[in-house]
Amino acid sequence: MISFEHVSVQYADAPAPSLHDVTLEIPEGELVLVVGPTGSGKSTLLRTINGLVPHFSGGTLTGRVTVDGLDTAEHRPRDLATVVGLVEQNPSSTFVTDVVEDEVAYGMETMGLGSTTIRRRVEETLDLFGLTPLRARSLRSLSGGQQQRVAIAALFAAGPRVLVLDEPTSALDPVAAEEVLASLHRIVHDLGVTVVLAEHRLERVVHHADRVVLVDEGHVSELLDPAEAMRRSQIYPPVVGLSRLVGWSPTPLSIRDARRKAAGLRQALGDSAPPTGADLRVVGPADAVRITGVRVSRGARIVLDGLDLAVARGSVTTLMGRNGAGKSTLLGAIAAQHRLSGGKVRLGADGVDPHTRSARERVRTVGLVPQQPELLLYTDSVAAECAAADEDFGAAPGSARALLDRISGGIDPAVHPRDLSEGQRLELALAVILCGAPEVLLLDEPTRGLDYGAKKRLGEMLTGLAAQGTTVLLATHDVELAAEVADRVIILADGEVVTDGPARDVLASSPAFAPQVTKVLLPQTWLTVAEVAGALARIA
Amino acid sequence: MTRPRLKARLQHPAAWWLWGLGLATAASRTTNPVLLLLVIGVCVLVVSERHDPATVNPLPAFLVIGAVIVAFRVVMTALLGNGIVGDTVVLTLPSVPLPDWAAGVRIGGTVTLESLLYAAYDALRLAAVLACLGAANALASPRRLLRYLPATLYDVGTAVVVGLTFAPQLLTDARDVRAARTLRGRDGRGMREMARLAVPVLETAFERSLGLAASMESRGYGRAVRSTTTSRRAATGLALAGLVGVLAGLYGLLDSSAGGVLGLPVLVLGALLAGASLLVGASRDPRSGHRRDQWTWTETVTVVAGAVPAAVLVVGSVQGWEGIVPSQQAELPAVPLLAVLAVVVSAVPAWITPRPREVAP
C-alpha cells in the first residue's frame, strides 16, 4: 500500500539527513506504529506519506515514496487527499470550518463528491465515531478528545485508504485516549483502512498495533512484530520494562497478557510489602499552598467553584482528571494568571497573596511552566534566552545557563528555541522559571511530546527540587509520571476535588489512572518497575 | 401566525451579503442621523434575530469601532475645526497662535455646534456602513461565502481562510503571550516590552497559519483543476479584473462624490468579467457542497429588502430630496418619510427568513 524505496530527506541547514535510506513496504489493512525518541524523524516519515514533505515543508527527498501506486514526487498533497488522510498533532489548529458537521463534510466537498453521497457519508461517519450527539456543536466548544475524534472522522469521511496520525493521544486524558483508539481499531478491523501512527505513549497504543517500525536518528527498521520490536526498542512502556526485568518471553504487550504471566512474580513479591508513605521523603507542614473557597470563571462558565486545598511544603502533588476538569485553571489561579471571583490563595510560609503582588515580586514565590512552554521564550537563541532570563529575574549572569545544563542533556546554545524538540523546549522554559527560585513550582501538562528518556530526567529533576524544599504541583494526564514522582494525587472532576490522597492509594484504586505495573500486579500496589526491581533485589 | 414555520437552516450567504451591501449603499448616501441610526438599529435587530450561532458575533466589535470613529472625529473637529462656519458657539478653547504659512490651519479657538454636528453626522455615516458590513459578517461567515470562490483562485482562497483565522487568533495569542510574560516577572507594559512581545506573538500566529494552510492542502483544497496552465491563467486574470471592477463599482455606488463612470456600469462590467472567469476556469471545478446552500423565496426577499433602501436613497440623493443631506444648521434635521420607510423595509428579513441552525454552546 505504501512503499518507500531508498528514501532520504535532507532539510536545508540541517547537519544530518532527517531520514536516511529508508526502504519499507507497508501492506494494506495494517495498523503500523512508528516508535522512536523525540526528534528521531518520526514526523518527517509520516509527512512523506502524503507528500507534505517535501512539497510543503521544503527540503530534498531522494528515492521514491508511492502510495497506492501514486508517486508523491508527481502528485501534490492535495491530489493525494483521496488516498491519504493526515491527522496532525494539534487538531484544533487544523480545523477549516466552524461546526462539527461542516468539518466532516469539508474534505468530501473539496473532492467533488455528489451531495447525496456526502449526506450519506456524513451520517455514517458521525455514527461510526459516536459524534452524532455533537454534530451541531461548535468546534471550539469541544474537549480535546472530542476534537481529536472530529479530526479523524473528518479525514476518514473523505474515504482515504490510508490514515496517518501524529501523536493522536498525547494531549488526551486516559479515557479520551481510549475512545480515540477504539475508533481507530474499528476502522482498521471493520473497514480495512491502513493506519500509520506515531505515539510517545506506548503504554496506550502498543497492544493495538499489528506491526511496529523503530526509528532512530533517521534510520528506520523493517516492519517488526510488536513483541519482537519491544524486545529490541530502546524506548518501551512499563509493562515491557517489567517483562525485561523478570525475563518473560514472548514479551507481553497488554495488561491481560502480562497478568497471565505475573502469578509467579506476585508470589515472589508476596512477602515484601510495597514501600509505604513513611519511606518517602519527609514532607513539611501543609502551608506551601493554601486555597480556600476559590471560584474562577472563564467566559460565561464557572470552572472552579469553592475549591479548598492545602499542599505541604517540599512535596510533589499531581493534579489529574479529564480534559476540561479545571486543572489548568487551578494552576493559573495559583499563579495569578486568572482573576479570582471568590476565595483566596495564600502561598509559602509567609502567606503571600499572589493576586496582590506585582509580577516582579510574585515570581519569587510561584513559578508556572505553561502548557505551551514556547510562550515563555522570546529571543532567537538559547544563549540569549538564558541571558534574558538572568536579567528578568535579577539573577547572577550565567545562572540560567547553569540550571539548563543541569536539567538538560546538553542543548546547543546557538539553536533557535523554536527549533528545539518539544522536550528540550520544556527544559529551557523550566530553567527560565527556576531562575526565579520560586518556593512553589507549577507545571501544566509537562510530558506532552516527551519520550521516556526526557520524562525520566524530568521526574528526577522534580524529585530533586522537592528534596531541596521546593513545592511542586503538576497537572498531567500521564499516570506513569505521576507514579514515578507524586507523593499525593488529587483527581479533579468538573472543578471539584473528587479524590485526594497519597499517590499509591489513589492511583492503585482508580481504574482509569492506575499505572501499568499496578494493573499487572494488583492486588499488590507496586507503582513502578524500579520499585519492583528494588524489592526483587532485596529478596535475592 | 398562520404561516407554517420555516425549517431551521442558514440562508444563502450571498443573500445576506447582498442585503448588507444594499443597506451600506443606502447608508453611504445620507448623513441624516435619524436615517443612519435607523440603519444601525436594523443591523442590530436582524443580527440579534438571525446571526449564525456557530461563529463569534463580530457586530459588537464593528459597533465599537464605529463609536470610536465618531468620538475621534468630534474631538478632532473641536480641536482643529473643519471649515464649517456656524453661529452657535459651544465653547471657546485656548487658541494656539500659528505662523503665517500655516494659514487655514488652526488649533483651538471657538467650537461651533454646526461644525461638531457636521463631523458627527459624517462619522456616523462611516459607522453605519461599518455596522452593515459587521452585520453581513455575523449573518453569514465569510468562510461560507468563500465556498463560491472558484478553485482557480486557489491561492487567494487559502490566503483568505488563513487571514480570517489569523486576525482573531492574533488577539488570543497576544493575550496568552502577555500573560506568560508576567510569569517572567515582567508586566508586559511599555514600548520595549511591546517589541519583545511582538516576536513570539507573530511567530505563534505564523506557525498556526502554516499549520492551517498545510491542513487545507492535505485535505485536498484546490485539487486537480484539470485545466491547462493557459486557461488557468486566463481565468485568474479575468477573475482579478472582475473583482477589481466589482470593487470599483461598489466604491462608485457608495461614494456619491465619485465620477459618474464609476458606479453601476463598472459594477456590471466587473460582475460580467468575474462570471466569465468562472466559465473559463472553473467549469471543471470538481468541488461540491454538503447541504449546498439553497436559494428560495426568502433569499430573494432578503436581497430585495436590502435593495429597496439602496434604490430609494440613491434616487433621493441624486434628486436632492430634503433631509437626505441635512442642512448645516443647528436644528433637528428634516426626516424624509419615504427614506425612513425604505430603511424600515430592510428589517423585514429579521422575521420572514428561516431561523439559523441550532448550535449547542
Q: Could you please report the per-residue DSSP string of A253-297?
A: -SHHHHHHHTHHHHHHHTTSPPP-GGGSPP---TTSEEEEEEEEE
Contact B355, B8 (CB under 8 A): yes
A456-496 pLDDT per residue, tens: 888 888 988 988 889 999 999 889 899 989 989 999 998 88
Instruction: Determine contact: A79 vs chain B, CB below 8 A.
Output: yes
Same domain, A266 and A319: no
Residues A96, A224, single domain; the answer is yes
Each residue's pLDDT tens digit, A394-431: 888 888 998 888 887 778 888 888 888 777 888 899 99
CA B23 to CA B45: how far, in whole Å? 13
What pLDDT, on the 0 to 100 scale, is given for residue B244? 81
Residues A77 and A91 in one domain: yes
A516 in a structural domain: no
Chain A CB within 8 Å of residue B88 CB: no
Q: Are residues A264 and A212 in the same domain?
A: no
Q: Is A9 helix (H, G, I), strand (E, B) or coil?
A: strand
Check if the beta carbon of residue B32 is closer than 8 Å to that of residue B312.
no
Residue pointed to by grid coordinates 491502513: A194
* Distance from the A113 Cα atom to the nearest Cα atom in chain B, whole angstroms: 6
Distance separating alpha carbons of residues A442 and A350, to the nearest angstrom: 18
- Read off the CATH number of the domain in which A172 is found: 3.40.50.300
Q: Is the pLDDT of residue A276 over 60?
A: no
pLDDT in tens, A193-226: 999 999 888 988 998 999 999 998 889 999 999 9
Listed by number, the residues of chain A in 98-117 with a beta carbon closer than 8 Å to a beta carbon of chain B are 98-99, 101-102, 105-115
Cell of A427: 527544559
Given a cut of 70, the residues of chain B with pLDDT beneath it are: 1-5, 102-105, 147, 149-156, 165, 167-168, 188, 222-232, 253-263, 277-292, 358-361
Distances (CA, A) of A126 to A88, A90, A102: 20, 21, 11
Chain B residue with CA closest to A123: the answer is: B290
On the CB side of A470, CA atoms within 13 Å amount to 24
- The rounded distance, in Å, linking the Cα atoms of A404 and A398 is 10
Under 8 Å between Cβ of A373 and A411: no
Task: Mark yes or no for CB contact A107/B219 under 8 Å.
Answer: yes
The minimal CB distance from A377 to the residues B54, B200, B288 is found for B200
pLDDT of residue B152: 61
**For position B1, what pLDDT does the model report?**
40
Considering the domain architecture, whether residues A205 and A252 belong to the same structural domain is answered as no
Say what the pLDDT of residue B7 is: 78
Long-range contact set of residues A249-257: C-beta below 8 Å, sequence gap at least 24: A251/A227, A252/A227, A253/A206, A253/A207, A253/A226, A253/A227, A254/A207, A255/A516, A255/A519, A255/A520, A257/A207
**Amino acid A146: pLDDT:** 83
Q: Which residues contact A193 (CB under 8 A, 6 or more apart)?
A: A29, A156, A160, A161, A162, A163, A187
Map residue B219 onto helix, strand or coil: coil
Question: What amino acid occupies position B156?
Answer: V
List the single residue in A96, A109, A134 with the smallest CB-CB distance to B216. A96
CA–CA dist B216, A154 (Å, integer): 12
Domain annotation covers residue A404:
yes
Q: Which of A361, A280, A335 is nearest to A531 (CA)?
A: A280
Kindly state the percentage of chain A with pLDDT values over 70.
98
Residues A127-175: pLDDT tens digits? 888 888 888 888 877 877 788 889 989 988 888 899 999 888 887 888 8
Based on the domain organization, do A206 and A128 belong to the same domain?
yes
**Cell digits of residue A102:** 461542516
Residue A519 lies in a domain: no
- Residues A265 and A345 occupy one common structural domain: no
The nearest alpha carbon in chain B to A98 belongs to B54
Instruction: Mark whether A257 and A108 lie in a shared domain.
Output: no
Cβ <8 Å between A433 and B183:
yes
Q: Which residues of A45-67 are buried (b: 16+ CB within 10 A; e: fewer)?
A: bbbbbbbbbbbbbebebebebbb
Give the three cell numbers for residue A200.
510517545
Q: Is the dihedral of CA B83, B88, B93, B96 positive or negative?
A: positive
**Are A225 and A295 in the same domain?**
no
Q: How far apart are alpha carbons A258 and A243 in whole angstroms? A: 8
Of A177, A209, A236, which residue is a domain's last? A236
CA A134 to chain B, closest CA, distance in angstroms equals 8
Q: Which of B8, B24, B19 is nearest to B314 (CA)?
A: B24
Asked whether residue A249 falls in the same domain as residue A319, the answer is no
Q: How many domains does chain A have?
A: 3
pLDDT at A278 over 70: no
Q: Give the three-state DSSP class for B242.
A: helix
Which ipTM score applies to this complex?
Answer: 0.78
The single-letter code of the amino acid at A311 is V
Task: Give the pLDDT confidence score for residue B35 in this predicted structure.
Answer: 92
For residue A156, give its domain range.
Answer: 2-236
Chain A residues in contact with B161 (beta carbon < 8 A): 96
Chain A CA closest to residue B52: A98
Q: Out of B185, B207, B216, name the one closest to residue A363 (CB).
A: B185
In terms of domains, do A287 and A258 share one? no
Residue A5's SS3 state is strand
Nine cell digits for residue A88: 496532525
Name which of A71-85, A233-247, B143-157 the model is least confident about: B143-157
Partner residue opposite B288 with nearest CB, options A81, A113, A363: A113
Q: Which three cell numbers stand for residue A201?
A: 505513549
The pLDDT of residue B280 is 64
Q: Is A507 within 8 Å of A527 (Cβ atoms)?
A: yes
Give the C-alpha distances (Å, rounded to integers) separating B121 from A445, B32, B324. 54, 7, 12
Whose CA is closest to A156, among A114, A124, A117? A124
Chain A CB contacts of B206 under 8 Å are: none
Q: Are A222 and A228 in contact (CB under 8 A)?
A: no
Q: How far lies A160's CA from each of A23, A86, A131, B161, B209, in Å?
A: 23, 10, 19, 24, 25
- Using CB atoms, pick whichever of B141, B187, B218 lies closest to residue A86: B218
* Residues 6 or more apart in contact with residue A112 via CB below 8 angstroms: B285, B286, B287, B288
A514, part of any domain: no
In a domain, A518, yes or no: no
Asked whether residue A435 carries a pLDDT value surpassing 80, the answer given is: yes
Identify any residues that bridge with A316 across adjacent strands, giving them in sequence order. A472
Q: So what's the pLDDT on residue A366?
A: 92
| Average pLDDT score, chain A | 87
Both A223 and A370 in a single domain? no
CA distances from A352 to A334, A345, A465, A537, B268 (A): 11, 8, 21, 46, 69
Please say whether the beta carbons of A187 and A205 come within 8 A.
Answer: no
Q: Are strands A301-311 and A366-369 parallel, antiparallel or unpaired?
A: unpaired
